[in-house]
Amino acid sequence: MSDPVVARLHEWLKAHEQELLDDTRRMLRIASIEGDAAPNAPFGAANREALDLALALSRNAGMETKDLEGYIGYAEFGQGERLVLSLGHLDVVPVGPGWKHEPFGAEIDEGYIYARGSTDDKGPTMASFYAMRAIKECFPQVPARMRQAFGCNEESGFRCVERYAETEEAPTFGVAPDSGWPLYNGEKGIANLNIELKLNKGAEMELLEVCGGQRPNIVIDQAEAAVRVKPEARKVVEGKLESAWDRNVTCTWESDVLRLKAVGKAAHGARPFLGDSAATRIFRQLFEIAPVADENYYQELLESAITSGAGIGINGEDEISKDLTCNLGIVSTEDGVVKLLFNIRYPVTWKGVQVKDKCEAHLKTLKGGWTLANVGRDSPSLYFPLDNPLVKTIMSVYEEETGEKKKPGVMGGGTYARALPNTVSIGTGWDGDGKAHENDERLKVEHLFKMSRIYAHLYYKLATLSV
């Protein structure tokens, strides 16, 4: 390494690899899924515990800390007008069935740490924190204020970073270590659409209930439904059930009620095509066994789950970020209405109101009694051009560290970068690491160390960058 400061940073991190691994595993053992609010713990006791650990480690490292009422906290050192900020998060999505390793055991198996949050985002956050520690120890005269933030509500609302923005200054250069390498200079807009469908009362195959899903941004991996079949339609439905092909759907009769259960595969809602929606399997089965008089109702229900959004009229693309994606994250039944919560990732050149207007116009053409109840969330898109100094620096450091010249990407996922000015998301792992939000999430131990070295190099460059 030609720069002696970067060489010292790498040496320090090499010498502290075991400490980084131990602290990361301590953090991963905390089941920091959002829970009931409590004093100074707006996202539950487990998230509070994770934040307390992060701030304690920061104080032990000689950094100043600030706790914003349990929403988010940060550690800081250095001096000067420039602020270099890294925004990591400690909260994680819920854990579904099917894990082969204990989700919060932080077990190491064949060189990988298995735990919810290992890749999203506790592992990268701890690597970033240690990168900051390295700069503090090896470059005490750093001409910038260096700040590591620890958010507690990234996965279910961004209220943590919204609280941060209320009182804290915007960074000169900010990064969110929560995406792909070298960075994602664009993030699609994110909107949650709450759509309602009337139950088909009086039909030959009457839908009584359907339910499934944990969060809007997770592909549904388990779903159930129940339909009441009229006597005159029973023979038709039974005949169609005999040729049913989907082994992931089980059907049982209880008098005149047919109950269906389906299993699928969870995945991040930004990439629903990587999962297998149990709700889609239920809807398909219902459509395939429906009497002719009810086919249209169940066809519309099935098409609503198309991941391009075509079934609710919002499909489309742009040149920068390509196609819109649509994930049916939660479905439930209440007061004679099927409630469907869709998590939408729309192109960076679109506005959320376009999605809303397209959806409303399409729903009016459907026959089943569809309405857009509300837009639950609309987070505008983010885009930085390639000549932006922050983008250019990240790309340069990544190439120097890895020897790989790689273009930035555009993502469907949403990171803290969209919540603060002058901030982009940067990479977190490599091939072999587990996917965010999926079972047996994992991070290669060597990748944890490699991230810390790249982050340290990057933060040092941003602290000293001439602009």
Tokens (6 digits) for 350: 């679109």
Which residues are paired to 198 by β-bridges? 337
Would you list the DSSP string of 44-64?
A: -HHHHHHHHHHHHHHHHTT-E
Cα separation, 362 vs 346, whole angstroms: 17
Q: Are 391 and 384 in contact (CB under 8 A)?
A: yes
Could you tell me if 44 and 157 are in contact, meaning their C-beta atoms sit under 8 angstroms apart? no
Is 300 catalytic? The answer is: no
Q: How many CB atoms are closer than 10 A to CB 296?
A: 15
Residues 190, 45: Cα–Cα separation, whole Å: 28
Active-site residue, 11 included:
no
AA identity, residue 310? A
Catalytic residue among 76, 154, 196, 294: 154
Report helix, strand or coil for 265. Answer: strand
Tokens of 239: 């005949």
CA torsion angle for 378, 379, 385, 389 (degrees, to 10)?
170
CB 457 within 8 A of CB 400: yes
The whole-angstrom separation of Cα 275 and Cα 337 is: 26
The secondary structure of the chain in percent helix, strand, coil, rounded to multiples of 5, reads: 35, 30, 35
**In sequence order, what are the residues at sequence separation of 6 or more whose Cβ sits closer than 8 angstroms to the Cβ of residue 357?**
none
Phi, psi angles (nearest 5°) of residue 204: -65, -35
Query: Among residues 91, 178, 204, 438, which one is catalytic?
Result: 91
Active site (catalytic) residues: 91, 154
